[in-house]
Amino acid sequence: MSRFSAPIAEQIWDMKYRFKNADGTAIDASVEDSWRRIARSLASVEKTPSDWEGKFYEALEDFKYLPAGRITAGAGTGRAVTLFNCFVMGTVPDSMGGIFDMLKEAALTMQQGGGIGYDFSTIRPRGAGVMGVAADASGPLSFMDVWDSMCRTIMSAGSRRGAMMATMRCDHPDIEDFITAKKDSARLRMFNLSVLITDDFMEAVKADGSWELKFNDTIYHTIQARDLWNKIMQGTYDYAEPGVIFIDRINKANNLSYCETIAATNPCGEQPLPPYGACLLGSINMARLVSDPFETTAALDEALLSDLVATAVRMMDNVVDESRFPLEAQAQEAAAKRRIGLGVTGLADALLMVGQKYGSEEAARQTEAWMKAIARAAYLASVDLAKEKGAFPLFDAEKYLATGNMMQMDDDVRDAIRKHGIRNALLTSIAPTGTISLYAGNVSSGIEPVFAYAYTRKVLQKDGSRTEEEVVDYAVDMWRQIKGDEALPEYFVNAQTLAPLDHVRMQAAAQKWIDSSISKTINCPEDISFEDFKEVYMAAWDQGCKGCTTYRPNDVTGSVLSVSSESEKAPEVDSGADVVYITEPLDRPQALEGNTYKLKWPDSEHAIYITVNDVVIGGHRRPFEVFINSKNMEHFAWTVALTRMISAVFRRGGDVSFVVEELKAVFDPRGGAWMEGKYVPSILAAIGGVIERHLIITGFIAGEGMGLKSDPQADVVAIGGAPRGKACPSCGQYSLQMKEGCMTCSDCGHSKCG
């Protein structure tokens, strides 16, 4: 029998985690093969691998321990990819050469599949003088545009596109431009933005005091702190960015504050990291550890939890030695501190199984107790590893025990660390788990509440027909199995009905025993007042959170899936979307309808012929393949490459009109040409124009410039209809939800954050 409890779980595994040959044929015949591959790979680091492979397999079995996606997809494949999810890059120098050295490092990191975080506070503000050059500085925002363009260009390893986090200090002179940068819907689409908030700033906000904007001790402006705070709040109220990171609190709570300073985080914010720091993530599936669910005797099996945590810590520690790194500086940083981020998923489901209402004071106390149990088990497991393999190289017992989370740790754990050392400097973090939670049977994500009890997911089959699947929350499905048709109890709550301050309460409860940070979204109703919205952030500050991310649905951010009173409050998914996802590439029919276009580039001896063939799905023509031919042999290699790449994108489905805009944006440094009264910046841009003309003729897009822009996550306008909110750039369905600080698709599991 299949280990998967729902078709979507098996589809996620097949699409994202199953080891396959380059031609798509499967090497992992079953999910058990995937578990065995991962276990064998991580056990290979041990002196006696055979002693640990079985133990590691047992932890992975039945989705009890869920390594982050890059480990699940990459471990044991022999491929040159990093097993670390994301990185904070080096400090950006305030010089042109240094800035572009950093850009190169970012490109190399993203090429291997890592998301990146950067603090742009180190770049001088716009208008500042540049020594030796008769010009003013263009400022950090202009260089962020360069990073954004690079990220759009590079596809990360596998099916992931890179994600980036940009931070800026609240006292940087360009902070107001940073806050409002994403009012332009086409700008910085590959970035998440967060403001680094200091303790002094929060005190000034509360006191309604003044605030200096400065760079290198030069004061540029003095403003009211509360005015700046309101601008930050207005930005996130209107379009969900920027986020807020309480950076002084992060540094004070850091176990390594004696040897590092943090100024940036990974793309989802759960890992504040020093320069060249990397986040290694994994999650304990709490929903699998509850005995006697929904009975009066229901309880989390804490003995099983402790044993599972110890195994997971050992596995994650081995990843440090098993993984490749894009840069040597990243490898050295990881080896010096051996930082890991063990977290949880399925927390809300586990609370439901023991009869507790997510967001209540009782549930917050239970969450804090469970997180402490995990922290204790993780630290003691790392002490045992230190006895066996040695402490992390930068360990200094007295300094370590006098900093950060260690100061609140139990005395027996502190004594063990003092005596034996500890293998991993930091051990706990709560990461986004949207995709791995679907893979594990649609358990609730991370520490988030259940998003919806059930929803209908549409799947496009190879013949063009659609089937519908009901995707049911793991705890709800278990209730049905145990209780049949008995009504759900009152304590079943979901993200649609939860008050924002209840979200804050749960985040603060979990944060107390998490030594890194937490990726969480606080869902706010669309009609929440601005004053009440600001109170959410102030409550997060007052209750000890290290950051805060909210999501309020509106015309800019897109609507959350609507909730119906029928079918256990299942979200309604629009059945009329014309942009659809092909779960597997379609087999090529014997005959296709298409057009061939002749393109004559000025000063070129031979013309280029472009053929675009279409397939008909749901009564609409959509592009299926492209052929680009020319007698000019100088063009041969790149035209073949372009043919294959564009065709591969077309056959995957979704709204592929962004291909046109990407091509049209390419410029040739040798100069473009005037064609039909327009300046075309390159021959590739001309090819993009031809493909755009075809898409207009066939009705795939409404007119010139009306396809998706450079960002595939821009709003999709369905043919013959009005804008329908945010569409998934992978599958085209209107099913994006903000979860754990990241837009995640409930249909295909796509996540901007990887």
724 CB-near residues (< 8 Å, 6+ apart): 574, 577, 716, 718, 734
Catalytic residue (one of 85, 192, 255, 266): 266
Long-range contacts of 569-572 (CB under 8 A, 24+ apart): 569/452, 569/453, 569/454, 569/494, 569/496, 570/452, 570/453, 570/454, 570/455, 570/456, 570/470, 571/452, 571/455, 571/735, 571/746, 572/456
Active-site residue, 572 included: no
Give the three-class secondary structure for 177. Answer: helix
Give the three-class secondary structure for 611. Answer: strand
d(CA 471, CA 459) in angstroms, rounded, equals 12
Q: Do 7 and 15 form a contact (C-beta atoms < 8 A)?
A: no
Cα atoms found within 13 Å of the Cα of residue 455, Cβ hemisphere only: 27
At residue 215, what are phi and psi to the nearest 5 degrees?
-145, 125
d(CA 654, CA 662) in angstroms, rounded, equals 16
Q: Do 502 and 457 form a contact (C-beta atoms < 8 A)?
A: no
Q: Do 313 and 381 form a contact (C-beta atoms < 8 A)?
A: yes
Q: Do 283 and 431 form a contact (C-beta atoms < 8 A)?
A: yes
d(CA 706, CA 146) in angstroms, rounded, equals 24
Query: How many other CB atoms sit within 10 Å of the CB of residue 607?
Result: 14
Catalytic residue (one of 105, 270, 322, 692): 270
246 CB-near residues (< 8 Å, 6+ apart): 197, 199, 202, 541, 545, 546, 547
Query: How many other CB atoms sit within 10 Å of the CB of residue 593?
Result: 12
Active-site residue, 266 included: yes
Catalytic residue (one of 86, 170, 268, 753): 268
Q: Which two tokens stand for residue 125?
A: 């503000």
DSSP 98-134: HHHHHHHHHHHHHHTT-EEEEEGGGSPPTT-B-TTSS
Task: Tell me the residue type at 79.
Answer: R
Active-site residue, 279 included: no
208 sits in the region (left: phi over 0; alpha: psi -120 to 50; else beta) called left
Q: Which two tokens stand for residue 306?
A: 């402790």
Q: Which two tokens stand for residue 605?
A: 């001896």
Q: Do 192 and 268 form a contact (C-beta atoms < 8 A)?
A: yes
d(CA 413, CA 530) in angstroms, rounded, equals 44
d(CA 598, CA 262) in angstroms, rounded, equals 56
Cis peptide before 602 (omega within 30 of 0): no
Give the three-class secondary structure for 250. Answer: helix
- The catalytic residues are 266, 268, 270
